[in-house]
A and B are shown apart, each in its own frame.
Chain A
Amino acid sequence: MFLEFVLALIIIRYLRTQLRKDGILPAWDRLLTIGIIIAVAFLIFGIVGRGHTGRLAALLTDGLLGYIIYFVFTKKEFIKFKSATYAVMPYIGVSVIKNITALISNDFYEEWSRPFETAELFAVIWLIATWILSRKQRKALELERLKALEKEKQYQLSEAMKASLEVQVAERTAALTQQKEELEHALGDLKATQAQLIQSEKMASLGELTAGIAHEIQNPLNFINNFSEVNTELITELKDAMAKGDMEEAKAIADDITANEQKINHHGKRADAIVKGMLQHSRSSGGQKEPTDINALADEYLRLAYHGLRAKDKMFNATMKTDFDESIGMVQVIPQDMGRVILNLITNAFYAVSEKKKPLTSDGKLNPLFKDYVPTVSVSTKKTANKILISVKDNGSGIPPHVLDKIFQPFFTTKPTGQGTGLGLSMSYDIVTKGHGGELKVETKENAGTEFIIQLPLSP
């Protein structure tokens, strides 16, 4: 009897709940409230007015339900409730027919109430069944929807993450590019510095040589001047002897003049060789291999190094020993480079023996070796079956084992700061190994001395 009203109330309430969930309730709240008021009003009419009034209220409620269904079908916000309406429709139909029939003829209705009640029962069963089904369906759909929503959220999240990652990648790339540029710049600077250092090492060894060169040139020049003066005197005497007719004396004097001329020539060539050597030393590398008298080269640089050191330290002295293998002949080397190596090794040897000869040890005590120690540097050459050996040996303090494997490293030096570039031995090593395909070996014994041996392959 009151099912229509209850149904109307339930439906409106259901709509309200759903709309609230979707967050669009405020726009429809007024209309739905009016619907509730109308449904309640019809219910009151239905209860108060029995008989025909009640039937009319029920029919009007059916109208209300119909209107709601129309509403659902026409408003797009409600379209999702369409399936739910199929549940109510049969009942509304049955209710409308039942109420109209009852209004027209209550007797007829009473008489045929059975089929009507049966129809009503089926409609209610349908309603409940459909309701349950659609509820299930909706729940599944809702779940799907939520899942989709979640996916969408995740997608958006990952998109955001992707975007931020891309920004990060761009930033990192920029930072890396900048670092790379900075490193390239630093590398360029380092290369320039290295080139400068190599140049300054050459200049430093040239500086070491200058005093030696001055001394070495001074001596031949003195001889040249002296012998030429003597010859001037001798020529006067020769003329006197010829005037006297003393041909024997004239011949003796002439022989002396010739001998002196040879001396002048010899010392002129000696000075010339020294100047040439100096020029070669200062010239940058890249020279050509040429047949070189290794013995003469070693001897020349031994003298230059010795006088260079003497010029710096007046008190220094050392015994120089040479043992040259005359069978070596001419060897294919780059003379200025090999000269630089030999000079470097000899300078180091002199440095080692001069350190050992110092009156005071490094910790300020009197050096017990000062009196009896004879600083000695030996340079020797030797030709074997397939090699040329050039040895520079000193009787200094030797190289301590903990620095022995570092001595060929660039910039490694045991000299006080500012006194050595630390490039001498590393350059020498490069010149011997890379420049000449040879080997540079070292043998050392603490407190006994050090021997550096250049091994050069004999060119076929």
Chain B
Amino acid sequence: MPERNLLFNCPYHHKIHCMKILVVDDERDIQTLFEQRFRKEIRDKALEFAFAFSGEDALSYLNRHEHEAVLILSDINMPGMSGLELLGHIKQKYLKPPPVVMMITAYGDADNFNMAKELGADDFLTKPVDFTLLKEKLKNIQ
């Protein structure tokens, strides 16, 4: 995605503090896990993470920090506003330009996969999250 690189001008391998990722999941320990899994990247300031524990949380975060998050990683299965609703909000009427949204779907859940694709999800991860694969994908986004 060349436009994105121009706009934000901060390739991943340059280790410049720039790429903000918003992780949305109702499991609170996901924060610790991400912080541990990406400890090197966080320490090197290549990536910065923010966490929201519900769809509503995520929307209010995005309101407060418009255009900051480049990538949103969202679970689908959450109480209250689901990941799909959040995706709809972001892609259809919320942010311009919309950030990249990567949905995390449960294994073999074709219905949610298709629905998320229709709503404009940019990419998918299946649970359990393969962090090696996720790191690859993050590099490609850069």
Contacts and interface: CB of A to CB of B under 8 A. Distances in A.
Contact of A215 (B81, B106, B111, B129): B106
B29 interface: yes
Interface of B: 27, 29, 32-33, 36-37, 39, 77, 79-82, 85, 106, 109, 111-112, 115, 127-129, 131
B112 A314 contact: yes
Contacts of B128: 218, 221-222, 225-226
A222 B129 contact: yes
A219 B27 CA distance: 8
Given A219-B27, A225-B128, A318 B111 contact: no
B33 A223 contact: yes
The A interface, classified by DSSP as helix, strand, loop or mixed, is helix
B82 A317 contact: yes
A319 interface: yes
Interface residues of A, number: 26
A263 to B, nearest CB: 6
Contacts of A319: 79-80
A150 interface: no
Given A219-B27, A307-B77, A317-B82, A256 B109 contact: no
6 contacts: A259-B32, A314-B109, A314-B111, A317-B85, A319-B80, A320-B80
Contacts, number: 54
Sorted nearest first, the 4 A-B pairs with minimum C-beta distance are A222-B128, A230-B36, A314-B111, A319-B80
B11 to A, nearest CB: 25
Most chain B CB atoms below 10 A, which of A215, A223, A306: A223
A267 interface: yes
A317 B127 contact: no
Contacts of A223: 27, 29, 33
Contacts of A230: 33, 36-37
A218 B39 CA distance: 24
Interface string A427-459: 000000000000000000000000000000000
A227 interface: yes
Contact of B36 (A256, A306, A314): A256
B106 A226 contact: no
Contacts of B80: 317-320
Nearest to A303: B79
Contacts of B36: 227, 230, 234, 256, 260
